[in-house]
Amino acid sequence: VQLVESGGGLVQPGGSLRLSCAASGFTFSNYWMSWVRQAPGKGLEWVANINQDGSQKHFVDSVKGRFTISRDNAKNSLYLQMNILRAEDTSVYFCARDVSNSGPSDLWGQGTLVTVSS
């Protein structure tokens, strides 16, 4: 039972990046899923979540209009498309499995680092 994120890296301000999260060991299509981020040395910030069939999505205000969350249940994968990236988006991004539509998150990936810098 695990989640494995990928796709992080260095990107210039204004650029785009797509994060992926591969799920295994459980029935991915049964769960809400979330993205949570953590800036270096800082606390946790919930970013977005998505329901089982992708029809419901919620975002923190700071990423609305710039980030998109999606999933492919056939591929057991969760995605975060990040556009118009800013320096303040620099964080480790974790994907997480949610017990319900508003959490809690009972399974987490190891995280992938996104650095926004010129």
Interface residues with other proteins (CB under 8 A) are 34, 36, 43-46, 49, 58-61, 94, 99-100, 102-106, 108-111
Cα radius of gyration rounded to whole Å, the chain: 13
Strand partners, 84: none
- If one counts every other C-beta atom within 10 angstroms of the C-beta of residue 27, the result is 10
Shortest Cβ 116–other proteins spacing (Å): 21
Specify the residue, 26 or 108, whose C-beta has the smaller distance to other proteins: 108
Shortest Cβ 74–other proteins spacing (Å): 26
Q: CA 83 to CA 36: how far, in whole Å?
A: 17
Shortest Cβ 7–other proteins spacing (Å): 17
The b-or-e profile of 39-70 (16+ CB within 10 A means b, else e) is: eeeeeeebbbbbebeeeeebbeeebeeebbbe
Tokens (6 digits) for 21? 């999260």
Specify the residue, 13 or 55, whose C-beta has the smaller distance to other proteins: 55
Specify the residue, 26 or 46, whose C-beta has the smaller distance to other proteins: 46
Specify the residue, 65 or 74, whose C-beta has the smaller distance to other proteins: 65
Shortest Cβ 13–other proteins spacing (Å): 24
